[in-house]
Amino acid sequence: MSPVGERELEICNRVLASVGDRAEAIVQVSTGRHALTRFANSFIHQNVAEDSTEVSLTAVVQGRLATASSTDTSDRGIGRLADGTVTAAGLRPPDPHWPGLAAPGETAEVDHWDQATWAASPVERAAVVRAFVDAGPGTGAAGFCSTDAVVTGLANSAGLSQTGRATVAQLDALARTGTSDGLGAEMSRSLGDLDGGRAGATAAQKARASADPVELDPGHYEVVLEPACVASMLDFLARAGFNAKAHAEGQSFVHLGEAQFDASVNLWSDASDPRTLGVGFDGEGTPHQRLDLVRDGVTVALAHDRRSAAQAGTRSTGHFSGDHAAGPMPTNLFLGSGTQSVDALVGAVERGLLVTDFWYIRFLDPKTQVVTGLTRNGLFLIEGGRVTSAVRNLRFTQSFVGALGPGRVLGLGDDGRLATGDLGALYGWFHHVPTLRLAAWNFTGGAKG
């Protein structure tokens, strides 16, 4: 068997040779298999797969840089990519913030890979879907089961090289009655870990329990937020908060060294943790560093790429987002779990809401982290420590950082797991998070507006 990423690195080196001494260069070559089996109304209606190849080149000519990509790995294609990128770089103004290439150094020792998932067939994905559908008799089913595998190599003209590979298997689906939806979601590096029957039963139970919802007046309610909701919160905190570029621009909520969160909150990024997914380095070749962002409620760090780090006089933490304009973003986030079961969290609530999922969240202002969005896929009223009824979905307008502030986190569940949030579902982000009990959440509208 060839070493991981050997073929991809070989293409990287062909690109570097084609660029020659005309420019500094960094090249990343990724090949992959991506397949997604999608179902609705309890049958598979879309079923797609692709083999992918992408060659991405950044060329830098005296501080002027351009990035280009191609799917063509022929000699002619690589020559065109190199020539075009070098030419484009030379035509634009210099970038005064260009930090230079990463030097050879530490390699990323991360391998979130499952060979069987790389080789998974459409029949195996359909079997997971079959089990999900069968687990919810009397309900409709809609969602997807996917397998993704990527092998990547990265090299630059300063002599750095990295290789990595990763697989991701995901089942994310709803059981549906005529009046309600219930969510069942699982993700892992291995398709074999996904249990369609288990997820389907969870989703069906949620859907049936919320089939006859009551109207509830908007207002401030204590809440128990399940992991999908918490993952959504981290999407926004990570993208616009712990982003060193946004912080330097004054657009982030972060005040380093201040107790901005409840003392029970610990948040960190760690790509090497066996519970997470993905490759171990960023698109600049820097290994993802284990990075504490919040320690016992105190905000202690920002995520950096090489550009933001150079401007701040520090080192990259390996969190280049792929877009210098967007700035760095911490990935592989972990929100520290607690010791309470979800039942215990619910049991401690005198009157509040149990929320399964959020939907369509958008910023009103990134600096305050005030967003608006809606509940989805299971909303329940808690009275006297137990769920008493389903509730029709509500709209909220709420600051995420405010909701997690000092004294606002009343409990953390012992159920930490990988989950995707509202933005994560669009961009492929995931976080390891528990259920949270929070003192208050500002619901601002319901079915009547």
Partner 1 sequence: MWPAQLRCARAAPGPATAGLGYGARVFDVATAAVEGALAAGARYADARVMTTRTEGMRAQNQVVESLRQDESAGVGVRALIGSSWGFFATPCLDNASARAAGAQAADIARASAMVAGPALELAPVTPAQADWSSAWEEHPLQIPLEAKADLLVGVTRASQDAGASLAGASYAVWDTERWFVSSEDARISQRIVECGAYMEAIAVGDSETQRRSYPGVLGQYGTRGWELVRELDLEGNAVRIAEEAQALLRAPQCPAGTTDLVLGSAQMALQIHESVGHAIELDRILGWEAGLAGTSWLELARLGELRFGSEVMNITADATLPGALGSFGYDDEGTPAQCTDIVRDGRWVGVLSGRDSAALAGVAAGGTVRGDGYSRLPMVRMTNVGMLPGTSSLDEMIAATEDGVYMDANRSWSIDDKRLNCQFGCEIGWEIKGGVLGRMLRNPTYTGIGPQFWASMDLVGNETERRFWGTPHCGKGQPVQTGHTGHPAVPSRFRNVRVGVRG
Site for partner 1 in 339-368 (CB under 8 A): 359-368
Does position 47 interact with partner 1 (CB under 8 A)? The reply is yes
Closest of 212, 245, 261, 231 to residue 379, by C-alpha: 212
**In the chain, what are the helix, strand and coil shares in percent, each to the nearest 5?**
25, 40, 40
Q: Give the contacts of 423 (CB within 8 A, at least 6 positions apart).
A: 232, 235, 236, 239, 361, 429
Q: How far is CA 256 from CA 289, 336, 365, in A?
A: 19, 19, 20
Q: Count the site residues for partner 1 by CB under 8 A.
A: 107
Q: In whole angstroms, how close is the CB of 385 to partner 1 at the nearest point?
A: 28
Closest of 418, 244, 252 to residue 337, by C-alpha: 418
Which residues between 221 and 250 bind partner 1 (CB under 8 A)? 249-250
Does position 142 interact with partner 1 (CB under 8 A)? The reply is yes
Does position 190 interact with partner 1 (CB under 8 A)? The reply is no
Among 3, 96, 257, 313, binds partner 1 (CB under 8 A): 96
Q: Give whichever of 123 and 257 is closer to partner 1, judged by the CB atom.
A: 123
Structure tokens at 54: 């992408």
Interface characters, 54-93, with partner 1 (x: CB under 8 A)? -----------xxxxxxxxxx-xx--xx--xx--xx-xxx
Residue 293, amino acid: L
Q: In whole angstroms, how close is the CB of 172 to partner 1 at the nearest point?
A: 7
Does position 138 interact with partner 1 (CB under 8 A)? The reply is no
Query: Torsions phi, psi of 431, nearest 5?
Result: -140, 155
How many whole angstroms separate alpha carbon 374 and alpha carbon 396? 6
Does position 217 interact with partner 1 (CB under 8 A)? The reply is no
Q: Give whichever of 322 and 347 is closer to partner 1, judged by the CB atom.
A: 322
Does position 42 interact with partner 1 (CB under 8 A)? The reply is yes
Which residues between 401 and 440 bind partner 1 (CB under 8 A)? 402, 425-426
How many whole angstroms separate alpha carbon 179 and alpha carbon 210? 8
Interface with partner 1 by CB under 8 A: which range of 16-24, 137-145, 230-238, 313-321? 137-145
How many whole angstroms separate alpha carbon 172 and alpha carbon 349? 29
Which residues between 316 and 335 bind partner 1 (CB under 8 A)? 323-325
Does position 200 interact with partner 1 (CB under 8 A)? The reply is no
Which residues between 148 and 177 bind partner 1 (CB under 8 A)? 151, 172-174, 176
H or E element in which residue 217 lies: none
Residue 153, amino acid: G
Query: Torsions phi, psi of 147, nearest 5?
Result: -130, 135
